[in-house]
Each structure stands twice: as C-alpha cells, then as structure tokens.
C-alpha cells in the first residue's frame, strides 16, 4: 500500500449521508480487488433504494420507441 499522506477530497452529500460521514470524519481509502458479478451488484442495492428525482420520470415512463438497447 502506498502512503500518500492526508489529502482533501469531496464526497457527494447523499453518499456521505448514507455512510454517516460528516465534516469531522476521516475516511481511509484502500485498494482491493474488484470482481463484481451481477448477483453481487444486485445484492448491494439497499432494500429502501429510490431513484433520484431527476430520473424518476424516465424510469416510471413507458417506452417511447426510440430507446437504445
């Protein structure tokens, strides 16, 4: 592991809230192998997941005939 010292970075507010991170939190980033499978990705979605408002209309709308697959 490479020690790069303390760095400041921004975390989107909703992500910080979901992890209980606030302005006094110290976050340690670690590197680990990532081998996602569909099952793991689906299992990582919280039971109470809700789409953000900006895409909710799209998700709940019917097909318009011009969607790319």
- How wide is the angle at C-alpha 36 spanned by C-alphas 62 and 15, nearest 5°? 70
- Give the whole-angstrom CA distance, residue 69 versus residue 31: 33
- pLDDT of 4 higher than 80: no
The residue among 37, 10, 38 whose CA lies nearest residue 25 is 10
Q: What is the pLDDT of residues 16-60, one digit of tens each?
A: 888 888 888 888 877 777 778 898 888 888 888 888 887 888 788
pLDDT, residue 63, reads 74
Q: How confident is the model at residue 5 (pLDDT cuts 50, 70, 90)?
A: low
């Amino acid at each position: 592991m490479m020690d790069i010292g303390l760095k400041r970075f921004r975390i989107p507010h909703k992500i910080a809230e979901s992890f209980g991170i606030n302005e006094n939190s110290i976050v340690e980033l670690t590197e680990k192998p990532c081998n996602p499978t569909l099952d793991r990705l689906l299992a990582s979605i919280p039971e109470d997941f809700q789409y953000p408002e900006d895409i909710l209309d799209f998700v709940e709308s019917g097909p318009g005939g011009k969607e790319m697959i």
